[in-house]
Every structure is written in structure tokens, then in C-alpha cells.
């Protein structure tokens, strides 16, 4: 086994110190970068959550709007049904009136000829 001289030992320890300092510096740099990236990710997550909340509110507004439109459509269908029934009744009345008008005209013609 070789005996290490004091000068060689000092050189070896100096080299180890330098390498340790570089490793610590690299570790600090990596940790700092990681911390910055984590901070950026949390910011992005916060922005995405805000966007999701905004979109959920828009969906809720649209759901209310759709419900209102559906109710209005149902009301219109109900009114249309009533109007169709009324129209049928009026057509029946008009048909009856036309029949009686013909009879009255026929009768009036007979009366005018008789005088």
C-alpha cells in the first residue's frame, strides 16, 4: 500500500472540497429551478380552476336559459292547441252559418217572386 504524503492528501482534500462545493451549487440550482417550476404549475392550476369555475357558471346560465325557453315553448304549444280547437269550432259555426245564409237567400228570392 502506498503511503499518501501530506501534500497529496491536501491536494486530494482540496479537490474533494471543490467537487463538494460544485455539487452543492448544482443541487441548489436544481432545487431553485424545481421550486420555480412548482410555483408556475400552481399558478397554472389556479388559472385552470378559475376557468373551470367560469365555464361551470356559463353552463348553469345556459341551463336556466334552456329551461326558460322550454317553458315558453310548452306554453306556446298549449296556446296553439287551444287556438286549433277554437278554429275547428269556428269552422263548424261558419259552415252552419253558410248553410243558413243559403236557405235565407233562397227564401228571400222566393218571397220577392211571390210579391
| pLDDT of the chain, 115 residues: tens digit per residue | 467 788 888 999 999 999 999 999 999 999 999 999 999 999 999 999 999 999 999 999 999 999 999 999 999 999 999 999 998 888 877 777 777 777 777 777 776 655 4
Q: Give residue 55's pLDDT.
A: 98
Q: Is residue 53 part of a domain?
A: yes
Whether 107 is in a domain gets the answer no
Please report whether residue 91 resides in a domain: no
Contact between residue 34 and residue 26 where contact means Cβ atoms under 8 Å apart: no
In a domain, 100, yes or no: no
**Is the residue at 113 inside a domain?**
no
Cell reading at 57: 357558471
Domain limits for position 24: 1-83
Q: Which residue has the cell 259555426?
A: 93
Does the residue 50 lie in any domain? yes
pLDDT of amino acid 1:
44
- Per the domain annotation, does 61 fall within a domain? yes
> Is-above-0.75 flag for pTM?
no
Tally of domains in the chain: 1
Distance CA 20, CA 23 (A): 5
Amino acid at each position: 500500500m502506498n503511503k499518501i504524503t501530506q501534500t497529496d492528501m491536501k491536494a486530494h482534500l482540496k479537490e474533494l472540497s471543490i467537487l463538494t462545493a460544485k455539487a452543492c451549487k448544482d443541487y441548489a440550482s436544481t432545487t431553485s429551478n424545481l421550486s420555480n417550476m412548482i410555483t408556475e404549475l400552481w399558478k397554472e392550476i389556479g388559472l385552470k380552476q378559475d376557468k373551470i369555475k367560469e365555464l361551470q357558471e356559463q353552463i348553469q346560465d345556459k341551463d336556466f336559459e334552456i329551461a326558460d325557453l322550454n317553458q315558453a315553448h310548452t306554453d306556446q304549444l298549449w296556446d296553439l292547441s287551444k287556438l286549433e280547437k277554437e278554429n275547428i269550432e269556428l269552422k263548424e259555426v261558419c259552415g252552419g252559418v253558410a248553410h243558413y245564409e243559403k236557405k235565407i237567400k233562397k227564401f228571400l228570392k222566393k218571397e220577392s217572386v211571390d210579391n
